[in-house]
Structure 1
Amino acid sequence: MSLNLQEKILRAASELFYSQGIRATGVDAIVKAANTTKMSLYKYFMSKDDLVLAFLHKRDEDFRGWFVDQVDRKADTPKAKLLAVFDVLDEWMATPKFRGCAFINATAEFPLAGNPVLQVSAEFYDHFRRYIADLAEQCGSKSPESLALQLSLLLEGAIVSEQMKRHSGSAEQAKQAAIILIEHSIIDIPDTSLPTSNPGEQQ
């Protein structure tokens, strides 16, 4: 299916923002990549700032949907999915076009509190941690919110490490740390299927 002009502009901008950086990408480069004009760009996006936010919102929607789908394909229990998160991360980071996390990168470029770019980036990780927390709760974590934060920090650290040095093995190392955190966090539930005896009844 062919893209309409608005979609072409957003796709071209998204590719440039992710590969080259937001501040380093000018409107001239975007219109050239989209084979259009500035007039057409500003018809759909009132400013470059609006285009940046559209890029981040689209990235949020597409990436989280893709990521969850990949995890679901690899695992069918909440605990297995918590670990599959790191396998999907590893596969994504191994792709040639990997340039780190778009939201971490955007935050580094727009770090001031209250900046809309920072807010959208923070919302992405809020949603992602909620997804991890839900899985943690389903597998019996004593503190799903804390576990979600711990695992998210491992994921974010692995991404930055891989961005700084490719093929660093950071995802696998993060997964090994995650195994320890998950096992420590899960509540031990007694097996009620086993018969119990009253000490006073023993002969």
Structure 2
Amino acid sequence: MSSRRDDLVETALRLFYANGFNATGIDRILAESGVAKMTLYKHFRSKDDLILAALELRDTQFREWLFGRMDAASSDPEARLVAMFDALADWFAGEAFPGLGFSGCAFINAASEFAPLDHPAHTFAAEHKRLIVEYLSKLCTEAGYEAPEIVAERLALLKEGAIATAHVRGMPEAASLARGMAEDLLKAAPRLR
């Protein structure tokens, strides 16, 4: 059973993701969550604190979903890296997160709305992206690439480019284009063995 705090954070995430962080007012979040203003301020000192809680929820949801999809695809680390782009294709088609659809990346959106690098939402977005690269680097190490961190960063750039292209241009096929580029990148990357 979810708590009133959970209801508030889930509603905030849905609205922030669909409409933007700055464009979504507290009154709308309260109305759609059915939570009283007093309850909001019992759990969060400010809208910024609610934004961070929504980003934390999205981080957990997204990484569990993405890593779970990649891990389920294969025991082979290289195949798991490529499977990231198959997962993205489902996300871009609106099939990955029921009730959220696809409105780009919540973390890219947060970083652009809160542009200063030291803003807490921007800092959190950067940490989310770092954790993705860390996971990719782990898989690249398991696959035996000579420079796993560099291969991971290149794959992350392909991922980010696919997300931006799918969102900005309404081009869900960006996932399959990036998948082909990832396969080429992985074939060309030097291995230790």
TM-score by length of 1: 0.89
Whole-Å separation in 1 of the counterparts to 2:172 and 2:58: 25
- Which runs of 5 or more structure 1 residues have no equivalent in the other structure? 190-203
| 1:109 counterpart (101, 109, 113) | 113
Question: In structure 2, what residue type is equivalent to 1:110?
Answer: F
Whole-Å separation in 2 of the counterparts to 1:188 and 1:26: 53
Paired positions, count: 188
Whole-Å separation in 1 of the counterparts to 2:117 and 2:190: 36
Matched, 1:81 2:85: no
| 1:147 counterpart (146, 151, 157) | 151
Give the CA deviation at 1:83: 0.5
Question: In structure 2, what residue type is equivalent to 1:63?
Answer: F
Given that 1:94 and 1:167 are in contact with CA atoms closer than 8 Å, whether structure 2 keeps it comes out as: no
| 2:191 counterpart (179, 187, 193) | 187
Question: In structure 2, what residue type is equivalent to 1:29?
Answer: R
Report the aligned-residue RMSD. Answer: 1.2
Report what 1:126 is aligned to.
130
Structure 1: 4+ residue segments shifted above 6 A: none
Matched, 1:160 2:164: yes
In structure 2, do the counterparts of structure 1 residues 186 and 78 end up closer, same or farther at CA, with 3 Å as the change threshold?
farther
Question: In structure 2, what residue type is equivalent to 1:25?
Answer: T
Structure possessing the higher radius of gyration over alpha carbons: 1
Whole-Å separation in 1 of the counterparts to 2:140 and 2:35: 47
Whole-Å separation in 1 of the counterparts to 2:172 and 2:19: 22
| Percent identity (aligned) | 37
Give the CA deviation at 1:167: 3.8
| 2:141 counterpart (127, 130, 137) | 137
Given that 1:139 and 1:186 are in contact with CA atoms closer than 8 Å, whether structure 2 keeps it comes out as: no
Given that 2:146 and 2:192 are in contact with CA atoms closer than 8 Å, whether structure 1 keeps it comes out as: no
1:138-196 deviations in Å (ceiling 9; x for gaps): 1111111001110000000000100012244111111111111111114263xxxxxxx
- Which runs of 5 or more structure 2 residues have no equivalent in the other structure? 96-100
Secondary structure of residue in 2 paired with 1:23: coil
Whole-Å separation in 1 of the counterparts to 2:69 and 2:167: 21
Whole-Å separation in 2 of the counterparts to 1:186 and 1:178: 14
Matched, 1:91 2:90: yes
In structure 2, do the counterparts of structure 1 residues 67 and 7 end up closer, same or farther at CA, with 3 Å as the change threshold?
same
TM-score by length of 2: 0.94
Whole-Å separation in 1 of the counterparts to 2:49 and 2:66: 25
Give the CA deviation at 1:93: 1.0
1:20-67 deviations in Å (ceiling 9; x for gaps): 100000110010011122111111111100000011111111210111
Report what 2:39 is aligned to.
40
